[in-house]
Amino acid sequence: MIPVARPVLGPEEEAAVVEVLRSRHLSLGPRVPAFEAGFAARVGAPYASAVSSGTAALHLALRAVGVGEGDEVITSPFSFVASANSILYERAKPVFVDIDPVTLNLDVEAAAAAITDRTTALLPVHIFGYPADTPALEAHGLPIVEDACEALGAVHADGVRVGGRGHPSAFGFYANKQLTTGEGGMLTMGSAEHKERVDSERNQGRAPDMGWLDHDRLGFNYRLTDIACALGLVQLDRLDGMLADRARVASWYREALADVEGLELPCEDFGGDVRGWFVFVVQLPRSVDRDETIRALLARGVQSKPYLPAIHLMSFYREAFGYREGMFPVCEDVAARSIALPFFPELSEGQVAEVAEALADVLQVAHEAGAA
């Protein structure tokens, strides 16, 4: 079976974790600030705060820029659900707008049209590692929180790395990400005030100079352990190689799938933007049943998965906000046809060929059945 994802872990990660275990200093130790400093330098951000997940990073970022009850935050319906859920944590309202059919990122013109006097922030998602048009959104003068959980390694056309523009930018380190700590996340920032607030709120609202049981604001248990940060430091050292390996696997897929009729591949880099490869997601022909395709691939020894559903059509969002089919047609079309193929740094060229052959065969069978 060729899996959808697999992390790159070696003896260096094992040694780093064992060193922390032997130190007996598992939390609030020296690896946390070391990982933060290394990560901030990597993306070109003045500050970074390690937290328990990308979702936690988004939540703290929204609080830092002042989002609160009754506010509206414009964001994408084509994302992992955490980007929208984090807005609800503060009793604000996610205002969805449709996506660009090429990049699959937030449509900046639709976002501009949705701004009202209740709009408190914009939350673009760098979907599948392709940079959102953050520079265009900056023209509105509103606070921006970037969901960069899938975009480590991505670069904007002006040469600024995603996470380095000064806006609070959330990264996630789940096992399928470009860099993994198992679970975990990072928030990069350009503001010392934001850094101070986030560091306190991730640690139950405790200031650095306060006692263990003393707290002067509302906070959360969003800390990241020294064990995870030790993993992250080693992964950070590996990052250039892992990103290059991901890009190479993507190039193999492009070549192997180029002639598959009706299949839409991820957009090429254009205009100077550079993708940080996270997943390889293709859109099936509209005449093909996606779920049946996934089952047929599994029977051929290839894992795949729907990626991603439209958030506004999830039952909770339908019931809470009255969303329905047809409101964001580009998102709905893409969400209905997209599947993630196996994609990770150690995937071989032979495995890519095997996946491509299986997908081509499955689609050919579906085409013949539809024509019969």
- Predicted local distance difference test score (pLDDT) of residue 372: 53
* CB neighbour class for 370 (10 Å; exposed up to 12, middle 13-18, buried from 19): exposed
In the structure, what pLDDT confidence band is assigned to residue 238 with cuts at 50, 70 and 90? very high
Residue 305: strand pairing partners: 340
Quick check: is 315 in a domain? yes
In a domain, 87, yes or no: yes
pLDDT at 208: 83
pLDDT of residue 282: 98
Where residue 371 falls among pLDDT bands split at 50, 70, 90? Answer: low
Which of 177, 201, 236 is a domain's end point? 236
CB-based burial of residue 49 (10 Å sphere; 0-12 exposed, 13-18 middle, 19+ buried)? buried
Start-end of H helices in the chain = 11-23, 31-43, 54-64, 82-88, 108-114, 134-138, 192-201, 226-257, 290-299, 315-321, 329-337, 349-371
Would you call 62 helix, strand, or coil by DSSP?
helix
305 part of the active site: no
Q: What is the mean pLDDT of residues 236-244?
A: 98
Say yes or no: 255 and 194 in one domain.
no
Residue 226 lies in a domain: yes
134-165 residues labelled b (16+ CB within 10 A) or e (exposed): beebeeeebbbbbbbbbbbbbbbeeebbbbbb
User: Looking at the domain assignment, is residue 1 inside a domain?
Assistant: no
Q: Is the peptide bond prior to 308 cis by the omega test (within 30 degrees of 0)?
A: yes
Measured distance CA(265)–CA(122) in Å, rounded? 28
Residues 154 and 80 in one domain: yes
Q: Of the candidates 205, 236, 267, which is a domain's last residue?
A: 236
Q: What is the pLDDT of residues 166-196, one digit of tens each?
A: 999 999 999 999 999 999 999 999 999 999 9
- Report the C-alpha gap between 238 and 169 in whole angstroms: 22
How does pLDDT run across 275-300, given as a tens digit for each residue? 999 999 999 999 999 999 999 999 99
Among 312, 294, 314, 292, which Cα is nearest to 302's? 294
Would you say residue 134 has pLDDT above 70?
yes
Residues 111 and 164 in one domain: yes
Residue 4 lies in a domain: no
What ranges in 75-145 are assigned the alpha helix state H? 82-88, 108-114, 134-138
- The domain that holds 271 is classified in CATH as 3.90.1150.10
Rounded alpha-carbon distances, angstroms, from residue 211 to 26, 169, 201, 203: 19, 30, 15, 12
Same domain, 156 and 211: yes
Question: What's the confidence (pLDDT) of residue 367?
Answer: 84
76: pLDDT confidence band, cut at 50, 70 and 90? very high
Convert the pLDDT of each residue in 197-233 to its tens digit.
999 999 999 988 877 788 889 999 999 999 999 999 9
Q: Is residue 5 part of a domain?
A: no
The structure tokens 């080693």 sit at: 234
pTM of this structure: 0.97
Domain residues for the domain of 338 are 239-371
Task: Write the single-letter amino acid at 84.
Answer: A
Q: Alpha carbon 248 to chain centroid distance?
A: 20
Q: Which of 93, 177, 195, 305 is catalytic?
A: 177
